[in-house]
Amino acid sequence: MAFNNLTSKAALIYDEWIKDADPRVDGYPLMSSPLPQTLIIGAYIYIVTNLGPKFMENRKPFDLRQIMFFYNFGVVALSIYMTYEFLMSGWATGYTYRCDIVDYSRSPMALRMVRVCWLYYFSKFIELLDTIFFVLRKKNAQVTFLHVFHHSIMPWTWWFGVKFAPGGLGTFHGMINSMVHVIMYTYYGLCTLGPAYHKHLWWKKHMTTIQLVQFILITIHIGQIYLMDNCPYQYPIFIFIIWLYGFVFLILFLHFWYHAYTKGQRLPKYMKNGVSINKNE
């Protein structure tokens, strides 16, 4: 009886809360409730941390270079398109980069922003394939807490952003992330072409620097709202979550940078007598 009462109260709270959702996203895939995406993300975590490694335990790694080539450059093309759409739906056509509130009208520009916000959200599910490829290639060392947490939290939190606030200053990090992914997935795509091209990928170390710059920009941009006297952004809680997300990932990537490069755990290698060695050896 108590459980039924608790369930009923939870349902009432949810119904009351969902009334404030943006009606413009009604009918978009995965936007009816947070449950479908939660199940997908839960399955993803279980597969890449448990089921997948067990399945591959006594198998040879799959050669996925051709698939990954098309996948990576497909993400590059999608990221270029999303960057353009973010720019044309606000960030290059009127946004001030300060107190930009959500436009809830049905103007062509506002609806364009809604579409690119949903597309960015959906792209996060496509990117879950990154980890699946790691598992199938038995690159389990790449399936770190940082990697899985990043790929899990992004789509889950963006559901709420698209559902309630698809636009305004809360979308800045989506645009910046799309720009970064153009560079990152170009690098990943070139890596699939084989060792002959690896000598041209000297800029690998700068991938982490680019990530750090991304989170610095996000943290500074979103933190501006706390220095403004009267910014009527509709959902301040989202601003805090974005700021917290940017700050936490800035710390995590700084930690990675310190251990990977400053302490020499991932120093660049060169060839000597046909053997790859670290430069500090």
Closest CA to 222 of 207, 203, 236, 209: 236
The enclosing H or E element of 221 equals helix 206-223
Residue with tokens 């989202």: 238
Query: Is 184 in contact with 78 (CB distance < 8 Å)?
Result: no
- On the 0-12 / 13-18 / 19+ scale of CB atoms within 10 A, 227 is exposed
pLDDT higher than 80, residue 269: no
Q: What is the mean pLDDT of residues 12-27?
A: 86
Does residue 38 or residue 229 have the better pLDDT? 38
Predicted TM-score (pTM) above 0.85: yes
Backbone angles phi, psi at 100, to 5 degrees: -105, 110
pLDDT tens-place string over residues 46-92: 999 999 999 999 999 999 999 999 999 999 999 999 999 999 999 99
Confidence (pLDDT) at 4: 65
The half-sphere exposure of 105 on its side-chain side, counting CA atoms within 13 A, is 6
Confidence (pLDDT) at 162: 97
Catalytic residue among 150, 151, 181, 221: 150
Closest CA to 41 of 133, 148, 118, 136: 148
Residue 150 annotated among the catalytic residues of the structure: yes
pLDDT higher than 60, residue 276: no
Confidence (pLDDT) at 63: 94
Does residue 248 or residue 277 have the better pLDDT? 248
pLDDT tens-place string over residues 135-192: 999 999 999 888 999 899 999 999 999 999 999 999 999 999 999 999 999 999 999 9
Confidence (pLDDT) at 12: 77
Token pair of 250 as six digits: 């800035």
Token pair of 95 as six digits: 């946004």
d(Cα 186, Cα 74) in Å, to the nearest integer? 10
Confidence (pLDDT) at 277: 31
Confidence (pLDDT) at 257: 74
DSSP 32: S
Q: Is 62 left (phi over 0), alpha (psi -120 to 50) or beta?
A: beta
Query: Is 82 in contact with 178 (CB distance < 8 Å)?
Result: yes
pLDDT higher than 50, residue 252: yes
